[in-house]
Amino acid sequence: MLPTDKSTVKRKPKRAIYNRKEIYKIIDSNSLCHIGFIHENYPIVIPTTYGRVGDVLYIHGALVSRLLVKLEKGIPISVSIARETGLALARTATNHSMNYESVVIFGKGTLVADNDKKMALKSILDNVIKGRWEEVKEPTENELKGTKVIAISMDEVTGKRRDEGVGDKKSDRGEKVWAGIVPIIKKYGKPQPDEYLQKDFPISNSIKNLYK
């Protein structure tokens, strides 16, 4: 689908990404999104984890969640996903920037049927930590009934990426200030076992794979 005026990048259009395959790589390499919607004539933005299956995002929560209750009505929403990849440190204060990759989604939410809940919940958990679903106890019927899952259609999707050096003016390049890129790298710390876990209980493969 070609971008409309709503989903066309206006500022720095050379950084825009419209290819869905490339956009989905960004979506799948992150696990936190921010969902924007109007609630009682006031804009609200709420962060949550998500999963993706094809052209659909899935989110979940309690039955009484304000976000999910609102979204199941099919209201227009926007979803933002972003990750910092580096600090672009310039010689002058106003030319500092940041390398990043981001996605903005425009769509609507619908309630997921009971028989599709497990599939949707698995996609969310897999996106947070791949392979964890197969290691843990699956939700009971009562737990599934107490969980609301929303499917978000990706009607329009736009990506954007900055992967550049410092943007100093030529006239400022002689300033005696260090300038350059400081990469930002995601790193997992040492696992901390739950206090009720059996002593020396082996770490799950899904956790081990985080360090590969």
Q: What is the dihedral of CA 191, 192, 193, 196, to 10 degrees?
A: -160
Q: Please state the domain extents for the chain.
A: 13-211
- Per-chain mean pLDDT for the chain: 94
- Pair 79, 36: CB distance under 8 Å: yes
Give the ranges where the chain is alpha helix by DSSP (H): 20-28, 66-71, 117-128, 141-145, 205-208
- Pair 89, 151: CB distance under 8 Å: no
CATH architecture for the domain at 13-211:
Roll (2.30)
CA 201 distance to own-chain centroid = 32
pLDDT per residue as tens, the chain (212 positions): 668 888 889 888 999 999 999 999 999 999 999 999 998 899 999 999 999 999 999 999 999 888 899 999 999 999 999 999 999 999 999 999 999 999 999 999 999 999 999 999 999 999 999 999 999 999 999 999 999 999 999 999 999 999 999 999 999 999 999 999 999 999 999 999 999 999 999 999 999 999 98
Cα separation, 161 vs 14, in Å, equals 9
Residue 158, both tokens: 């736009």
Burial of 110 (0-12, 13-18, 19+ CB in 10 A): middle
Residue 156, both tokens: 């329009």
Number of H helices, E strands in the chain: 5, 10
pTM of the predicted structure, to 2 decimals: 0.91
pLDDT tens for each residue of 116-171: 999 999 999 999 999 999 999 999 999 999 999 999 999 999 999 999 999 999 99
